[in-house]
Each structure stands twice: as C-alpha cells, then as structure tokens.
C-alpha cells in the first residue's frame, strides 16, 4: 500500500501538473502557503521556487511532496484535488459499491470491505467513464486513508496493471 507521499512521488508528471493547476486556480492561497512551507524545509526562499519555469516548479513540488516528511501535506492536497476536481469519480465509485456518501463523494467512516469481484467490476466501470490516471491515483489515495485499508482493494492495486502508478 502506498502512502500519500509515495503516491505523489510515483504519479505521472501530467497528473501532478493537473493537481497543481487545479490548486493554483481554485486554492491559490493554499498552494502558495504549501510552496512556502516546502521551500522553507529546504532552506530556500519561496520566491526562488516561484520564479522557476512552470514545469520545473511542478517537478520540484512533486519531488518535495514525495518525501516522507510531507505525507500529511500530500494527503491534504490530494483530498482537495480529488474532491474539488473529481467528485463525480468518487461518487461513481461509492455508488457502484452501494456506499452512502455526501454530494462530494466523501465518507465519515470507512465501511467494511466489499468482495473483490464487486470491487473489480466497479473499478472496470470507473476506467470506462474516467481518466485512467486519475482512477489509479484515487484508488491508491482511497486505500491510504485508512491504516488497514481494504485487503481486496490492496490485491487489485497490486494485480491490475491499469492501477500502477
């Protein structure tokens, strides 16, 4: 099971760019504060990172969020991006499993794991309707939200090549 910082470290560069673009457009203050925190960890001034060309800045932030010390920050940013930009994916996943959720596809308590066959069927449906890169990131992030996760989902994440980061 990947931690949220490992998800950032392994996600495709294009997906990381989507995350940071979304945050820059919808949560600019949060992105700016995060950049400042990450720069300070490396003993850099934030302006040094802000002045980098966009692609370099994104790569730098992705690398920084891929470090273990930034696991909580990575989790927070992934959650904001997934709920803000991909709520339909979250809802489709939970609806397919018959799990009640709010309008954004979030849960208060993680229910017991469904059967692996049911999960596989729902995941196949997600790949038909949504960007495969986002599906993979979401399912890894979903699994990482709980210390134990769902064993059948862990198996699917390990077995299905479409779910590799």
Q: Are residues 92 and 118 in the same domain?
A: yes
Please, what's the b/e burial string for 1-13 (b: 16 or more CB within 10 A of its CB; e: otherwise)? Answer: bbbbbbbbbbbee
pTM of the complete model: 0.92
Task: Tell me the C-alpha distance between 147 and 154, whole Å.
Answer: 12
Q: Are residues 128 and 158 in the same domain?
A: yes
Tokens 């001034």 belong to residue: 45
Mean pLDDT value across residues 51-68: 95
Q: Are residues 64 and 134 in the same domain?
A: no
Chain center to CA of 150: 17
Q: Which domain holds residue 28?
A: 4-85
- Among the candidates 85, 107, 135, a domain finishes at 85
Mean pLDDT value across residues 39-65: 93
Q: Are residues 118 and 94 in the same domain?
A: yes
Q: Are residues 115 and 139 in the same domain?
A: yes
| pLDDT tens string 139-157 | 999 999 887 789 999 999 9
Task: Tell me the C-alpha distance between 146 and 23, whole Å.
Answer: 24
pLDDT category of residue 108 using cuts at 50, 70 and 90? confident
């Amino acid at each position: 099971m990947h931690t949220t910082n490992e998800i950032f470290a392994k996600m495709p560069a294009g997906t990381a760019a989507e995350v940071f673009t979304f945050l820059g457009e919808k949560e600019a203050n949060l992105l700016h504060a995060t950049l400042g925190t990450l720069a300070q960890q490396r003993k850099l001034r934030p302006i040094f990172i802000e002045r980098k060309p966009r692609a370099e800045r994104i790569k730098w932030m992705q690398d920084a969020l891929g470090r273990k010390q930034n696991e909580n920050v990575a989790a927070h940013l992934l959650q904001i991006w997934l709920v803000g930009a991909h709520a339909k994916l979250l809802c489709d996943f939970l609806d397919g499993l018959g799990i009640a959720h709010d309008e954004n596809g979030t849960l208060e308590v993680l229910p017991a794991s469904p059967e692996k066959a049911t999960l596989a069927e729902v995941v196949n449906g997600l790949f038909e309707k949504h960007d495969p890169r986002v599906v993979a990131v979401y399912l890894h992030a979903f699994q990482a939200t709980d210390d134990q996760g769902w064993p059948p989902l862990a198996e699917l994440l390990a077995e299905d090549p479409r779910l590799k980061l």
